[in-house]
Structure 1
Amino acid sequence: MTPFAPQVNDFQHSSNTYINREISLLEFHKRVLAQSKDSNHPLLERLNFLIIFSRNLDEFFEIRVAGLMKQLDLNAITTAPDAIPNEVVIEQISDIAHEAVDDQYNTLNNILLPQLQSYGVRFIQYHDISEHHKEWIKNYFFKQVQPVVTPISLDPAHPFPRLVNKSLNFIVTLEGKDAFGRHIDLAIVPAPRSLPRVVRLPDELTNGQEHYILLSAIIQQHIDDLFPGMSATGCYQFRVTRNADLTLAEDIDDLAVALKDELSSRRFGRAVRLEIAHDCPDFINDYLLEQFDLDPIHLFQVKGPVNLARLFANFDIPELRFKPYQPIVPKALRNPHQIFDVLSKRDVLLHHPFDSFAPVINLLKEAAYDPNVLAIKQTLYRSGPDSEIVQVLAEAARNGKEVTAIIELRARFDEESNITVANILQEAGAVVVYGIVGYKTHAKMILIVRREGEKLKRYVHLGTGNYHAGNAKMYTDYGLLTTNPDICEDVHKIFQELTGMGRMAKLKKLFHAPFTLHAQLLQFIEHEIQHAQAGKPARIIIKVNALTEPKLIAALYHASQSGVKIDLIIRSICCLRPQVEGLSENITVRSIVGRFLEHTRVYYFHNAGDIKLYCASADWMGRNLFSRVETCFPIEDKKLRKQIIEDGLLSYLKDNTRAWELDNNDQWHALQAAEGEESYIAQQHLMDERIITPTA
Structure 2
Amino acid sequence: MENTELDTLNEPDAPEAIDLDNPEFYINRELSQIKFNERVLHQALDERHPLLQRLLFTCIFSSNTDEFFEIRVAELKRQIEFGQEKILSDGMSPEKVLQSISEQYHPLVERQYQILNDVILPELRKENIRFLRREEWNERQVAWIEEFFNESVMPVMSPIGLDPSHPFPRLVNKTLNFIVELDGKDAFGRETGLAILPAPRSLPRVVRLPDELCENGGDNLVFLSSIIHDHAADLFPGMTIDGCYQFRITRNADLEIDENEEDLANALRSELLSRRYGDAVRLEVATNCPDELVEVLLKRFNLEEDDLYRVDGPVNLSRLMQTLSLVKRPDLNYENFTPSLPKTLKQSVKNNIFDEIRKADRILHHPFESFTPVVNLLMAAARDPNVIAIKQTLYRTGENSDIVKALCEAARNGKEVTAVIELRARFDEEDNINLASLLQEAGALVTYGVVGHKTHAKMMLILRRENQQLRRYAHLGTGNYHSGTAKLYTDYGYLTSNDEITYDAHRIFQQLTGMGKIQKTKKLLHAPFTLHKGLMELINQEVKNAEQGLPARIIVKCNGLTEPKVIKALYRASQAGVKIQLIIRSMCSLRPGIPGVSENITVRSVIGRFLEHTRIFYFENNGQPKLYGASADWMERNLINRVETCFPIEPTKLKKRIIEELNWYLEDNCQSWELTNEGVYVLNTPGEDQEEISAQTNLLANLALSS
Q: Same fold (TM over 0.5)?
A: yes
Which whole-Å CA distance do the structure 2 matches of 1:692 and 1:63 have between them? 39
SS in 1 for 2:317: coil
Gaps of 5+ in 1: 1-6
CA contact (8 A) 1:126 1:220 kept: no
CA distances 1:412-438 after superposition (whole Å, capped 9, x unpaired):
000000111111110000010110011
Residue in 2 that maps onto 1:4: none
The answer on 1:371 being equivalent to 2:385 is: yes
Alignment partner of 1:43 is 2:51: yes
Pairing 1:109-188 to 2, within 5 Å after superposition: 109-126=117-134, 128-188=136-196
Aligned: 1:88 with 2:101: no
1:132 deviates by 4.6
Deviations 1:94-136 (A, max 9, x none): 1211111111111111111111112221112445445553222
Uncovered stretches (5+) of structure 2, i.e. residues with no partner: 1-14
Tell me, in whole angstroms, the C-alpha distance in 1 between the residues paired with 2:705 and 2:137.
50
The answer to whether residue 680 in structure 2 is matched with residue 680 in structure 1 is no
Equivalent positions of 1:401-412 (< 5 A) are 401-412=415-426
Report how many aligned residue pairs link the two structures: 686
Paired residues of 2:87 and 2:93 also in contact (CA < 8 A): no
The answer on 1:542 being equivalent to 2:556 is yes
Q: CA deviation at 1:76?
A: 2.8
Which of 680-689 and 136-145 deviates more? 136-145
Structure 1 residue 222 corresponds to structure 2 residue 231: yes
Partner amino acid, structure 2, of 1:324 = N
Do the aligned partners of residues 81 and 127 (structure 1) sit closer, same or farther apart at CA in structure 2, a change above 3 Å counting?
Answer: farther
Deviation at 1:693, TM superposition (A): 12
The aligned residue for residue 491 of structure 2 is: 477
Relative to structure 1, is the Cα distance of residues 129 and 294 closer, same or farther in structure 2, using a 3 angstrom cutoff?
farther
Match of 2:342 among 316, 324, 330: 330
CA drift of 1:202 comes to 1.7
Instruction: Give per-residue Cα distances to partners, 1:534-578, cap 9 Å, x unaligned.
Output: 111211111110000000000111111111110000000000000
Residue of 325, 329, 332 corresponding to 1:320: 332
DSSP-derived class of the 2:692 partner? coil
Distance 2:303 2:382 in 1: 54
The DSSP-based 3-state class of the residue aligned with 2:186 is: coil
Give the residue type in structure 2 aligned to 1:349.
I
How far 1:193 moved relative to its partner?
0.8
Structure 1 residue 454: Cα displacement: 0.9
Q: Tell whether the 8 Å contact from 1:385 to 1:420 is kept in structure 2 after alignment.
A: no
Query: 1:3 — aligned with what?
Result: none
Equivalent position to 2:623, from 596, 605, 609: 609
Aligned counterparts of 1:277 and 1:127: Cα–Cα separation in 2: 18
Letter in 2 for 1:686: L
Distance across 2 between alignment mates of 1:594 and 1:661:
15
How far apart in 2 are the matches of 1:203 and 1:493? Answer: 61
Map of 1:526 onto structure 2: 540
Q: Deviations over 1:250-288 (max 9, x none)?
A: 311111001001101000000000011000000011110
Query: Shift of residue 225 of structure 1?
Result: 1.1
CA deviations 1:450-503 (Å, max 9, x no partner) are 111211111111000000011111111111111100001000000000010011
Q: Aligned residue for 1:579?
A: 593
Structure 1 residue 204 displacement after superposition: 2.3
CA distance in structure 2 between the partners assigned to 1:244 and 1:141 by the alignment: 32
Structure 1 pair 548–490 and aligned structure 2 pair: CA distance change class (3 A): same
Q: Letter of the aligned partner of 1:231 in structure 2?
A: T
User: Aligned partners of 1:406 and 1:90: how far apart in 2?
Assistant: 37
Distance 2:311 2:700 in 1: 39
| CA distance in structure 2 between the aligned counterparts of 1:548 and 1:691, rounded to whole angstroms | 33
- Deviation, structure 1 residue 11: 6.1
Contact 1:126 1:216 in 2 (8 A): no
Q: Structure 1 residue 691: deviation in Å?
A: 5.0
Partner amino acid for 1:499? T
Find the counterpart in structure 1 of residue 474 from structure 2: 460
Which structure 2 residues correspond to residues 656-695 of structure 1 after superposition, within 5 A?
A: 656-691=669-704
What amino acid sits opposite 1:315 in the alignment? V
* 1:622 maps to 2:630: no
Matched, 1:232 2:245: no
Measured in 2, the distance between the counterparts of 1:130 and 1:110 equals 24
Structure 1 counterpart of 2:434, from 401, 405, 420: 420
Percent identical residues: 57
Partner of 2:308: 299
1:280 and 2:289 aligned: yes
**Cα displacement (A) at 1:184:** 1.8
1:608 partner SS = coil
Which secondary structure does the structure 1 equivalent of 2:434 belong to?
helix
Does 2:367 match 1:353? Answer: yes
Q: Is the 8 A contact 1:385 1:418 kept in 2?
A: no
SS at match of 1:140: helix
Give the aligned CA root-mean-square deviation in angstroms: 1.6
Q: Which deviates more from structure 2 when the two are superposed, residues 429-438 or residues 304-313?
A: 304-313
TM-score in terms of structure 2 length: 0.95
Q: Cα distance 1:335–1:239, how it changes in 2: closer, same or farther (>3 A)?
A: same
Residues 340 and 705 in structure 2, CA contact (< 8 A), matched pair in contact too: no
- Choose from 190, 211, 215 the match for 2:198: 190
The alpha carbon displacement at 1:690 in A equals 2.4
SS at match of 1:171: strand
1:599 to 590, 600, 613: 613
Segments of 4+ in structure 1 off by > 6 A? none
Cα-to-partner distance string for 1:230-252 (whole Å, 9 max, x where unaligned): 10000001000000001112311
Deviation string for 1:149-189 (max 9, x for gaps)? 11001111111111000010000001111111121210000
Alignment check: 8 A CA contact 2:390 2:418 kept: yes
Task: Summarize the Cα distance change of 1:312–1:411 in structure 2 as closer, same or farther, 3 Å threshold.
Answer: closer
Match of 1:212 in 2: 221
Query: Paired residue for 1:507?
Result: 521
Could you tell me how far apart the structure 2 residues matched to 1:312 and 1:616 are?
Answer: 31
Distance in structure 1 (CA, Å) of the matches to 2:683 and 2:404: 41
The Cα of 1:344 is off from its aligned counterpart by 1.2
Correspondence for 2:66: 58
Q: Provide, for residues 643-680 of structure 1, a one-character-per-residue CA deviation record: whole Å limited to 9, x for no partner.
A: 11111x11100100000000010000111000011100
CA distance in 1, matches of 2:704, 2:195: 59
| Residue 594 (structure 1) shift | 0.6
Cα distance in 2 between the residues matched to 1:434 and 1:533: 46
Q: CA deviation at 1:12?
A: 5.5
Task: Provide the rounded CA distance (Å) in 1 between the counterparts of 2:62 and 2:328.
Answer: 20
Deviation string for 1:348-380 (max 9, x for gaps)? 111111110000000001111111111111100
Does the 8 Å CA contact 2:337/2:704 hold for their aligned counterparts?
A: no
**Residue matched to 2:84:** 76
Does 2:263 correspond to 1:250?
A: no
Measure the CA separation in 2 of the matches of 1:455 and 1:14: 57
Question: What residue identity is the alignment partner of 2:589?
Answer: C
SS at match of 2:352: helix
Q: Secondary structure at the match of 2:471?
A: strand
- Measure, in 1, the Cα distance between the counterparts of 2:703 and 2:223: 42
Give the Cα separation in 1 of the matches to 2:232 and 2:253. Answer: 31
Structure 1 counterpart of 2:580, one-letter code = I
1:40, 1:311 → 2: CA distance? 21
Q: Distance in 2 between matches of 1:216 and 1:421?
A: 35
Inter-partner Cα distance in structure 2 for 1:177 and 1:503? 73
Distance in 2, Cα, partners of 1:278 & 1:126? 17
Please give the TM-score of this superposition, normalised by the length of structure 1: 0.97
Residue 78 of structure 1: how far off its partner (Å): 2.4
2:44 aligned with 1:31:
no
Counterpart CA distance in 1 for 2:23 and 2:104 is 18
Question: Distance between the aligned counterparts of 2:260 and 2:114, measured in 1?
Answer: 49
